[in-house]
Amino acid sequence: MKLLLKGGRVVDPASNRDGEFDMLIDDGRVAKIGKALSADGAEVLALQSGWIIAPGLIDIHVHLREPGQEHKETVATGTASAVAGGFTGVACMPNTDPINDHPGITELILKKAEAAGLARVYPIGAVSIGSRGEQLSELAAQKAAGCVAFTDDGRPVANALLMRRALEYAGMLGIPVVDHCEDPALKGDGVAHEGFVAARLGLRGIPGVAESIMVERDIALAEMTGGAFHVAHMSARQSIRAVRAAKERGLTHVTCEVAPHHFVLTDESLETPIRYDTNVKMNPPLREAADRDAMLDGIADGTVDVIATDHAPHHADEKLVEFDRAPFGIVGLETCVPLVFDRLVHAGRIGVKRAVELLSVNPARVFRLPGGSLAEGSVADVTILAPDTRVSIRAAQLRSKSKNTPFDGWELRGAVAATIVGGRVVYRNYDETR
């Protein structure tokens, strides 16, 4: 089976290619990239001028909710949402029910992903059994089953000794440890960023330092152990500063990610347009303008390695409650590309190449995944982007089983035209993007 992508701009930072080329895909791999390739029996996908052929986007922070919380999302609906958002691969968090601390669960997720046949799914295993922070999970067994990283996401690894051992042990396996950096005592029962807006609204605060103090601790442990450490969903300006300093010291095994909502929104969203909207409740919380600006700076100057969505589906009933009782989190897979293009690329903060690095090259590098490259011979995971197409975000139309997004009704410039996994077109949005 052959597929010819005709026209379009190939942006492949891994091979330093950026220009107008055709791409021939054969047997699930990139067969040839060149000017005016002939179809020669291949199915032709004619791209519009200005469309971008990028290595498949990879979201390394996704909650697929299966097993155990299938009312929020399943592997099937989550990967449908992923490919609609342009992601050819997602790494899924272990805070399922039960927690993914066992190869049996990893295997179950991989089986469901194969059955769904959409995006590639890379399970992340729990650092500790039950993510309780008491005893290491069997990390080598989890690696053998297919886990690509370890984390107790949803919870921080509170115990510094456990974090040290995890970094040492996972480092031995060549696998990164991802921490949801948060000091539990400083977070307390906070529900929003500790700033003037939360103070005015009478919402209990979570200070930025609750995050950065843990980022600093983990950087120190990563430096000591040599184990790869990745900061999940960074939100505080102090954390950016800490990671920047670590990188300046040459700690290449310290990496970090930022979610789109943290470089787009601030805590002002708690008041407008809807006061106490539970769809702006997430952890870490939306912080103030100075923090949002620090995320933008970090994205532009290279401190931030990865944009990851922290796609966190919750059922509408769970969100339709008092603010402090609502669960943390929003869906993000299908709003990421429009937000990245509208707010970063078209806003002149980064170029297309850097966007592709943040969404594809670096996620693959940080989690040591196949992909992130369109070199001839590599697996044909490809995302076709229509950077100038206007999209209207409609929560009700999301493929995700859950619709908890604060971006409902937003008009943005930048769309996904098609998603190709292993040479197969798994999502196509031509009609809407024409």
Partner 1 sequence: MLKSRHLLGIADLEPDEIGLILDTADAMTEIAARPIKKVPTLRGRTVVNLFFEPSTRTRTSFEVAEKRLSADTLSIAIAQSSVTKGETLLDTVRNLEAMAPDMIVMRHASSGAPYLLARLCRSAIINAGDGMHEHPTQALLDAFTIREHKKRLDGLKIAIVGDLLHSRVLRSNVQLLNKMGAAVWACAPATLMPTDLARFGVRPTTSIDEAVEGADVIMMLRIQHERMHGHFIPSTREYFTTFGLTPARAARAKPDVIIMHPGPMNRGVEIDSDVADGPFSVILEQVANGVAVRMAVLYLLAGHEAQAD
Sequential DSSP letters for 191-218: -EESSHHHHHHTPPEE-HHHHHHHHHHH
User: CA end-to-end span of the chain, whole Å?
Assistant: 26
What is the token pair recorded at 417?
């035209």
Active-site residue among 310, 324, 381, 431? 310
> Which range touches partner 1 (CB under 8 A), out of 26-34, 92-100, 163-171, 317-325?
317-325
> Which range touches partner 1 (CB under 8 A), out of 134-142, 271-279, 364-372, 401-409?
271-279
> Which range touches partner 1 (CB under 8 A), out of 32-40, 232-240, 272-280, 337-345?
272-280
For partner 1, the closer CB: 205 or 227: 205
Task: State yes or no: residue 275 binds partner 1 (CB under 8 A).
Answer: yes
Least distance between partner 1 and beta carbon 269 (Å): 13
For partner 1, the closer CB: 170 or 192: 192
**Residue 310 designated active-site:** yes
For partner 1, the closer CB: 322 or 431: 322
Least distance between partner 1 and beta carbon 278 (Å): 9
* DSSP conformational letter for 289: H
Least distance between partner 1 and beta carbon 406 (Å): 15
Question: At 406, phi and psi to the nearest 5?
Answer: -85, 0
What is the token pair recorded at 224?
């000591």
Least distance between partner 1 and beta carbon 194 (Å): 6
Least distance between partner 1 and beta carbon 324 (Å): 5
Dihedral of CA 278/123/242/260: which sign?
A: negative
Task: State yes or no: residue 321 binds partner 1 (CB under 8 A).
Answer: yes
Window 168-207: contact mask with partner 1 (x via CB under 8 A): --------------------x-----xxx-xxxxxxxx--
Task: State yes or no: residue 434 binds partner 1 (CB under 8 A).
Answer: no
> Which range touches partner 1 (CB under 8 A), out of 13-21, 72-80, 212-220, 268-276?
268-276
Q: In whole angstroms, what is the distance from residue 149 CA to residue 125 CA? A: 6
The secondary structure element, H or E, covering residue 354 is: helix 352-356
Buried b vs exposed e over 112-133: b needs ≥16 C-beta within 10 Å?
A: bbeebebbbbbbbbbbbeebeb
Beta pairing partners, 87: 57
SS3 295: helix
Task: State yes or no: residue 80 binds partner 1 (CB under 8 A).
Answer: no
Q: How many residues bind partner 1 (CB under 8 A)?
A: 22
Determine contact, residues 85/393, Cβ cutoff 8 Å: no
Q: In Å, what is the CA distance from 416 to each residue of 41, 257, 336?
A: 26, 21, 10
Least distance between partner 1 and beta carbon 323 (Å): 5
SS3 175: coil
Question: Strands 177-179 and 229-231, how do they pair?
Answer: parallel
Sequential DSSP letters for 14-80: GGTEEEE-EEEEETTEEEEEESS---TT-EEEEPPTT-EEEEPEEEEEE---TTT-TTT--HHHHHH
For partner 1, the closer CB: 67 or 188: 188
The residue from 248, 317, 377, 396 that contacts partner 1 (CB under 8 A) is: 317
Task: State yes or no: residue 141 binds partner 1 (CB under 8 A).
Answer: no
The residue from 111, 132, 325, 390 that contacts partner 1 (CB under 8 A) is: 325
Window 203-242: contact mask with partner 1 (x via CB under 8 A): xxx-------------------------------------
Question: Strands 52-55 and 29-34, how do they pair?
Answer: unpaired
- In 332-373, where do the E strands start and end? none
For partner 1, the closer CB: 160 or 199: 199
The residue from 26, 138, 268, 324 that contacts partner 1 (CB under 8 A) is: 324
For partner 1, the closer CB: 71 or 346: 71
Least distance between partner 1 and beta carbon 22 (Å): 52
Residues with active-site annotation? 310
Contact positions toward partner 1, by CB under 8 A? 188, 194-196, 198-205, 274-276, 317, 320-325
